[in-house]
Amino acid sequence: VGVAFLPRHGRGHRVSPSELNARANIDALKRFGVTDVLAVSSVGSLVEARPPGSFTVVDQFIDRTKGRPSSFFGTGLVAHVSMADPVCPRLSRYAADAARDAGAQVDDRGTYLAMEGPQFSTRAESRLYRQWGCDVIGMTAMPEAKLAREAELPYALVGMVTDYDCWREEEAGVDVAQVVAQLGANAAKARAMVMGLLRALPAEREPSPIDICLDSAIITAPSARDPALVAKLDAVAGRALRNAAG
C-alpha cells in the first residue's frame, strides 16, 4: 500500500490552525492519487474517562470554526454532500484496531468539537461543550473532514489526547508545554498505529460509497456550470463531472 504524508502545519509547525489551507491540502492529496485519508490530531479531552495518552476514533463533529473556506464548490457549481456520517466506518475500524495493537487506550467513537483557535478555550466554553455531549476538542479537523467528503475521499480521524482542556476547576488551564510533552509520549504509539493499519489493509482496496458521493450531490445543471470552476475542480470532482458531461 502506497502512502503519502502531509504535515498540516508544515515543517517546524509554522502554520496556525486558523491559517491552514485545507482546500489546498485535500486537492494536493487527490492529485497525488490518494484514495483514503487517515488524519491524526492532538485533542483535548472533555471526558474524565479519556485521559491524556488515550486515543479517540472520532465519528461525529460539531463545527465551531469561523470564516475558514469550507467548500470547493460555489457560485457556478453548487454541491451539497451529506455529512450525516462524516467518517468512513471501514477505515475507522482499521484505525481503532491498530491503535489498540500499538498499546493505546482507545475509544471507538467520539464527538469532536472543532474550535477556531488559536487560543485555547475559556472554562465556560469547555463546560458548555461538555454539556453538548462532546468528547474531545481540537482546531484542525474542520473543514478538513468536509473537504475530504467533497473530494470523495473516505476519511477517518484519530484524536490523540494531550490534556483535559480547562473544564476541571481544580486544575490550571491547558498550555503549550503540557501539549508538547504529551505529544512526545503519543508519537511512538501513533507511528505504530499507522504501521499496523498499513499491514492490516487488504492488498486490493475495498470500495466505499464515499467514492461516488458527488453523483448525488452536484445540483447545478451542466449547461449552467462555470467552466472555470469546473476546470479548477478537475482533481476533486473530475470523476463526477466527467460522468455528468458524458
Q: How far apart are CA 223 and CA 79, in angstroms?
A: 15
Q: Which residue has the cell 491498530?
A: 98
The answer to whether the bond into 118 is cis (omega within 30° of 0) is yes
Within 8 A by CB and 6+ apart from 124, the residues are none
For residue 105, with 0-12 CB atoms within 10 Å meaning exposed, 13-18 middle and 19 or more buried, which class applies? middle
For the four alpha carbons of 176, 181, 182 and 184, in that order, the dihedral sign comes to positive
Phi/psi zone of residue 39: left (φ > 0), alpha (ψ -120 to 50 degrees), beta?
A: beta
Look up residue 29 and give its three cell numbers.
492529496
For residues 119 and 2, is the Cβ–Cβ distance under 8 A?
A: no
Active-site residue, 163 included: yes
Q: Which of 27, 63, 135, 165 is catalytic?
A: 165
> Choosing from 63, 85, 163, 234, which is the catalytic residue?
163
- Angle (CA) 206 212 215, round 5°: 165
CA 53 to each of CA 159, 162, 183, 187: distance values in angstroms, whole numbers, following the listed order? 10, 6, 8, 10
Catalytic machinery residues = 163, 165
